[in-house]
Copies of this chain bind each other. A is one copy, B any other.
Amino acid sequence: MKKIQSDSLFASLMASLIMAVAPSCFAQMPTLEISTLVNEYRIEHEQEILVDFVNLLSMPNDSANSEDIDANAELISQMLQSRGFATRTLRAGRAPYVFAELTTPGATKTLILYAHFDGQPVQEENWTYPPFTPTLMDAPLPGGEPIDLETVSGSFDPEWRLYARSAGDDKMPIVAIIHTLDAMRAKGIPLSVNLKLLLDGEEERGSPTVGQIIDENPSLFDADLFLFCDGPMHQSRRAQLVFGVRGSGTVDITTYGATRPLHSGHYGNWAPNPIMQLSYLLTSMRSENGRILVDGYYDNVATLSEAERAAINTMPDTAADLQNELSIHTPEGEGVRLEELVTLPAINARGIAAGGVGTRGRNIILPSATVSLNLRMVPNQQPLRLRELIENHLQKEGFFVVHEDPSAAVLRNNSNVVKLNWRGVGNAGLRTPMSDEVAQHLIGIMKELAPDLILTPSMGGTLPLNAFDDRLDTPIIILPLANHDNNQHGRDENIRLQNIWDAMAVYGVLFAKFGGS
């Protein structure tokens, strides 16, 4: 469909009129006009939008507290119902998923948007302001001063930030979507697509039941595109689409010395030292550059397409800034760009524990030492195959692999006993080709709004996408909307107001144009 130029109000009004009566001609309104209208509405309603957001953020939402999660689901359902959504609560375990549907007469395309309303646990004493007393600040912390939201008259500085648990991860899309729909109605911007929302109440616990939810309700998830609205945007603050994620798995590895702590003087040089054994094990698995030394580990790793590599090469290179900010002299990866490195599998030692250091150190040789490894996996890798490769590697390195606490007899009869505690199967990640038709369609729409759109083949992190990817044919693309410095999972989580406003403009354009050709 040819685009109508936005050079006259008449044309614009005509377009609205046509669309209202002729759904087959969706998405006639020019992108700039849509975003302008959404912004106009938003400027008139900033306080109202933020009050709504504050109400939602005021509800404690620790993922582990199911009563709180249920209460959040209840409020969100009400907010959606009042905008015409049909809602239902899906539940395959303890946690609720809010599923909402808004049908657009005549629309032939369907968009599913994903967000989550549960949050990471908070250590309240570490927060500058209480995590469930959302606080508007005139600048980022430290340094910012609180502002009474109710007393602001006139416009809100878009650099102000709202501090609360889940402000950035991940309640914002919910509030942005409903107020975008309010704006579209108020400004006469027609919807072009059927909308489905899947709002997750257990994402921070790894969405353990989402697979069952899909299996039990397969038709609910029919759509042309799954749009995952989670995660931080690029540090450059430019609009971004992300086409893949790494998967994640965890294994705790324990090595053993004697069955009781031994005096390091009396037995040092003789008793096996489990900390040292862990060190030999870790260095056998991973080079100093992060390269995994396990035979076969890279066998199925999906290589980057020309388009993906080109996209990476045109992304802003933030490495120098990042290194400076994080005081990193030499990153791992031998100079390969971060954006490319995260398309490769990684093994990260995330924690290690044995005895004490500093004043808690004691002169003993410990009975055991444990390291926890996080495996980031990429498309085409098979988690269970990687498990096999790692265990083969350890056996080749002379370790005797067990999966339960070894008995004294097992320790006595085998050298270098190592326990592998695989904490779930994990998943391998996914990547939607940028060349897919729907991907190209989405990129086209987004580029009209944001010509400097960043296209990221894969983010390094993990989202609960595999359950969808494994079960549905729908392409999955990630639309990150939160500021990169939102402190997700940590203390003083926040959202920058401009990111809420930008999210509304993006949703407005998508909802108005995705149904077009």
A269 partner residues in chain B, CB cutoff 8 A: 290, 332-333, 341-342, 344, 346, 376, 460
Q: Is the CB of A271 within 8 A of B354?
A: no
Contact with B along A51-67 (1 / 0, CB 8 A): 00000000000000000
Contact with B along A350-387 (1 / 0, CB 8 A): 11111111101111111001111010100000000000
Q: Is the CB of B462 within 8 A of A259?
A: no
Q: Is the CB of B262 within 8 A of A326?
A: yes
Quick one: copies of this chain in the complex?
2
**Bound complex: CA of A357 vs CA of B365, how far in Å?**
19
A153 partner residues in chain B, CB cutoff 8 A: none
Residue of B nearest to A323 (CB): B412
A250 partner residues in chain B, CB cutoff 8 A: 361, 363
Contact flag A351-B346 (CB < 8 Å), given A411-B328, A461-B265, A462-B265: no
Q: Is the CB of B351 within 8 A of A265?
A: no
Would you call A286 an interface residue if the criterion is a C-beta within 8 Å of the partner chain's C-beta atoms?
yes
Contact with B along A395-433 (1 / 0, CB 8 A): 000000000000011011111110001000000000000
Would you call A438 an interface residue if the criterion is a C-beta within 8 Å of the partner chain's C-beta atoms?
no
Smallest beta-carbon distance A367→chain B, Å:
9
Would you call A223 an interface residue if the criterion is a C-beta within 8 Å of the partner chain's C-beta atoms?
no
Q: Is the CB of A355 within 8 A of B355?
A: no
**Bound complex: CA of A421 vs CA of B359, how far in Å?**
12
**Bound complex: CA of A273 vs CA of B347, how far in Å?**
10
- With beta carbons under 8 angstroms apart, the residue of B270, B276, B282, B462 that contacts A288 is B276
**Bound complex: CA of A354 vs CA of B349, how far in Å?**
9
A288 partner residues in chain B, CB cutoff 8 A: 276-277, 280
Q: Is the CB of A363 within 8 A of B355?
A: no
Would you call A156 an interface residue if the criterion is a C-beta within 8 Å of the partner chain's C-beta atoms?
no
Q: Is the CB of A350 within 8 A of B346?
A: no
Q: Is the CB of B265 within 8 A of A376?
A: yes
Residue of B nearest to A413 (CB): B329
Smallest beta-carbon distance A246→chain B, Å:
6
Would you call A324 an interface residue if the criterion is a C-beta within 8 Å of the partner chain's C-beta atoms?
yes
A323 partner residues in chain B, CB cutoff 8 A: 412
Would you call A258 an interface residue if the criterion is a C-beta within 8 Å of the partner chain's C-beta atoms?
yes
Would you call A207 an interface residue if the criterion is a C-beta within 8 Å of the partner chain's C-beta atoms?
no
For the complex, would chain A's binding face be called helix, strand, loop or mixed by DSSP majority? Answer: mixed
A462 partner residues in chain B, CB cutoff 8 A: 265
Q: Is the CB of B268 within 8 A of A374?
A: yes
Q: Is the CB of B358 within 8 A of A268?
A: no
Contact with B along A274-290 (1 / 0, CB 8 A): 01111110110010101
Q: Is the CB of A265 within 8 A of B460?
A: yes
A90 partner residues in chain B, CB cutoff 8 A: none
Smallest beta-carbon distance A476→chain B, Å:
16
Would you call A3 an interface residue if the criterion is a C-beta within 8 Å of the partner chain's C-beta atoms?
no
Would you call A331 an interface residue if the criterion is a C-beta within 8 Å of the partner chain's C-beta atoms?
yes
Smallest beta-carbon distance A322→chain B, Å:
9
Contact flag A415-B330 (CB < 8 Å), given A357-B370, A372-B355: yes
Would you call A264 an interface residue if the criterion is a C-beta within 8 Å of the partner chain's C-beta atoms?
yes
Closest 10 CB pairs of A and B: A265-B461, A351-B355, A275-B349, A258-B326, A268-B346, A327-B411, A361-B372, A330-B415, A279-B279, A269-B341
25 contacts between A and B (CB under 8 A): A245-B265, A246-B268, A258-B328, A259-B326, A263-B489, A265-B342, A265-B461, A266-B459, A268-B342, A269-B290, A269-B332, A275-B349, A275-B351, A275-B371, A276-B286, A278-B352, A279-B282, A280-B283, A280-B288, A328-B411, A350-B361, A351-B360, A352-B354, A356-B372, A358-B372
